[in-house]
Chains A and B, each alone.
Chain A
Amino acid sequence: MASNPPTRLGDLERAVMEHLWVSTEAHPEGLTVRDVHDAIGVTRGLAYTTLMTVLDRMAKKQLVTRERDGRAWRYLPASSRDELTSEALHHTLGELAGSQRRSALLRFLDQSTPEELDELRAALADLEQREGTHQTG
């Protein structure tokens, strides 16, 4: 499967996000485009303006927040990694699985109560036994 520019852009956004996440503790005031460029742009051979554009887009998508600091912007992640992970999983299991939207994602996982899980395990034990007898007999 050929890679396409959107994926590369996605990769870059993820790298930026990653860097902002690990930096929040040390730099609660946020990072400038220059900081981000130094950290992840230089090794990738990316121009300063590329990072500026990416961060600007990410701010518009509300992935990051920014505040003026003199003539520069300081960028912070809009949500923590955990918050976003939780949002992704709820999005999958909740919203998309709602009666109308369930079809959007075909899930392998089913959620359940303890009694039902016991019954499920019993069914598995039955099947294992059946298959076991198959193989020996």
Chain B
Amino acid sequence: MVIAALLTLTIALAWPVPRLMAGMTTFRRAPRAALVVWQSTTVGAVLAALFAAPAALPYVIGPTAALADNATQIAVAVAVSGLIAGRLIVSGHRVGTRLRAHRRRHRRLVDLLAVPVGADGSHAAHMRVIEHPTPTAYCVPGMRRRVVLTQGTLDSLPEDQLVAVLAHERAHLRARHDLILEFFTVIHEAVPSWFRCEMAMHEVKLLIEVLADRAAVRATGVVSTARAIVGMATGAVKPEGMLAMGESPSAARLRLELLQPGPVAGLPAGVAATVMYLFATSVVIMPVALLVVAWATA
């Protein structure tokens, strides 16, 4: 029973649940709670997958059987869980190495091209301005972080919108949104490709942008932030090769609609968030509880 429940939980959390959750767009209104739900669902799925084989053991060999007599069964259980853990570790290593190599290369390039705006120790010490007409702003996270702006951004956005852009990027860096994304990317790539949920990755990325947008709203207000989002999206003079970008204006529009908190699924934001946090907690507890039950009752 318990093993069936664990397997069901694994499959549910890995396949239908993320797809269902990605469709429940109302939860975007509570981006922080929604991100926690995504993270806990992911952790829950990983735990359930890791625990399935160990939970099956007491049923296969009986809880009181001497372990030495059942080496094969135990070896199989360890191998199954080990395989899953191994995939996660390999994926973690590959994603981490790749991201850091890219960031390092990019930071070098930026540092070679752009003059620091602020002096050492000043607020703007990590800011770099690249001489280019296309309005672009982004951050390079990591130990030696950078906020990169193009001259086109400085030229085309009025000051209140620049404040919004910088508040947005600083929010990414301060809250280490890169680590949240890295976590999801690692799990995403550890799963066989036919099993991956692209929608979930999209949703998580959107939620992270919404969080940063809301930091910008707190810094400079809704209208300035909205104008900045639109200004950045529309002011772009596209150099060749930059057209083939996915996720674009529709994402900017979604973000405009999500700048301010509002009712989630008809509930006041606070109530909805509480429910979401409770769900998040139970999703992590469930696989652990099932493993304990498996060994206690078998």
Contacts and interface: CB of A to CB of B under 8 A. Distances in A.
Contacts of A108: 136-138, 165, 168-169, 212, 228-229, 232
A78 B165 CA distance: 33
Nearest to A93: B242
B242 A94 contact: yes
A43 interface: no
Contacts of B198: 99
A91 B178 CA distance: 17
A90 B99 contact: no
Contact of B249 (A11, A102, A103, A117): A117
A39 B205 CA distance: 47
B110 interface: yes
A105 interface: yes
A106 B142 CA distance: 12
Interface residues of B, number: 76
Contact of B241 (A90, A103, A120): A90
Contacts of B134: 89
Given A94-B242, A109-B137, A111-B248, A3 B253 contact: no
Given A84-B113, A109-B136, A120-B253, A103 B165 contact: no
Contacts of B243: 111
Contacts of B93: none
A124 B256 contact: yes
Given A85-B130, A101-B98, A116-B250, A17 B112 contact: yes
B205 A102 contact: yes
Nearest to A4: B144
B109 A100 contact: no
Contact of B112 (A13, A89, A110): A13
A69 to B, nearest CB: 25
B172 A88 contact: no
Interface of A: 1-3, 6-7, 10-11, 13-14, 17, 63, 81, 84-97, 99-113, 116-117, 119-121, 123-124, 127-128, 131
Which 4 A-B pairs have CB atoms at the shortest separation, nearest pair first? A112-B249, A116-B249, A111-B245, A103-B181
Interface of B: 98-99, 102-103, 105-106, 108-113, 115-116, 120-121, 125-126, 130-132, 134-141, 144, 148, 150, 165, 168-169, 172, 177-178, 181-182, 184-185, 189, 198, 205, 208-209, 212, 222-223, 226-230, 232-234, 236, 238-239, 241-243, 245-253, 256-257, 259
